[in-house]
Structure 1
Amino acid sequence: MAVPLAPIAFTALRFGAVAAAAWYINRRARPAPKHVWRERALDDLPEGVDVTMDRSDSESNAHAGARLSRTVRLGQGAAFEIDIAGMGRLRVRRAD
């Protein structure tokens, strides 16, 4: 029975393109200093999702923040803490 090579070759080409793009981005990236105030703001977020909305006559605001923190243990070996945090804002104002 013949093996269809076209789907396998296409998948290998896609993975190769993604790997080449990641390698290129990694080579072009320059190390940047940490912004302590940003790190502090993300560290101060509570666990879970928080959404706040505010409306006035001239504008509407929606603020959202989310944080997920988990510890993953690989068998009896090392444990890794995964901390995902993000904040966002949507502001709509009337333009005159």
Structure 2
Amino acid sequence: MPLPLAPLIPLAVRLGLVATTTFALTRLVRSATHPGRTDQRAEDALDDLGEGLSLHRPADRAEDRQTNATARVRRVVRFRGKTWELDAGLMARVRLNERKE
């Protein structure tokens, strides 16, 4: 006795479309992004940040009107029987220069 496969065709088509779309999006994202790099000097600077938020204007950069900001949060999070250490750091620089036209 033959198996009735006709009712499974819509399901197979949908699964095929989902798989093809996922594959295409994955390829697109991978081709549009670059792998990045790790700069050890930046890693060391982030490790040296103090905890909390800081916003200041360096005296030696007054002519650039430069403002620097740093932030760091260090916490221990327990979730579903596992312990995670969260260490998030941020360094930012904003410069505003007037241009002569």
Q: 2:49 aligns with which of 16, 30, 45?
A: 45
Change in 2 beyond 3 A, CA 1:36/1:60:
same
Aligned pair count reads 74
Letter in 2 for 1:44: D
CA–CA separation in structure 1 for the residues paired with 2:87 and 2:51: 10
Corresponding position: 1:84 with 2:84 = no
CA–CA separation in structure 2 for the residues paired with 1:85 and 1:48: 9
Match of 2:46, SS state, is helix
Q: Which residue of 1 aligns with 2:70?
A: 65
TM-score w.r.t. the length of structure 1 is 0.60
Change in 2 beyond 3 A, CA 1:32/1:53:
closer
Whose helix proportion is higher, 1 or 2?
2
- Computing the radius of gyration over CA atoms, which structure comes out larger, 1 or 2? 2
Change in 2 beyond 3 A, CA 1:31/1:54:
closer
CA–CA separation in structure 1 for the residues paired with 2:37 and 2:91: 20
Change in 2 beyond 3 A, CA 1:71/1:61:
same
Q: Which residue of 2 aligns with 1:9?
A: none
Whose strand proportion is higher, 1 or 2?
1
Q: Identity of paired residues, percent?
A: 30
Q: Which residue of 2 aligns with 1:24?
A: 26
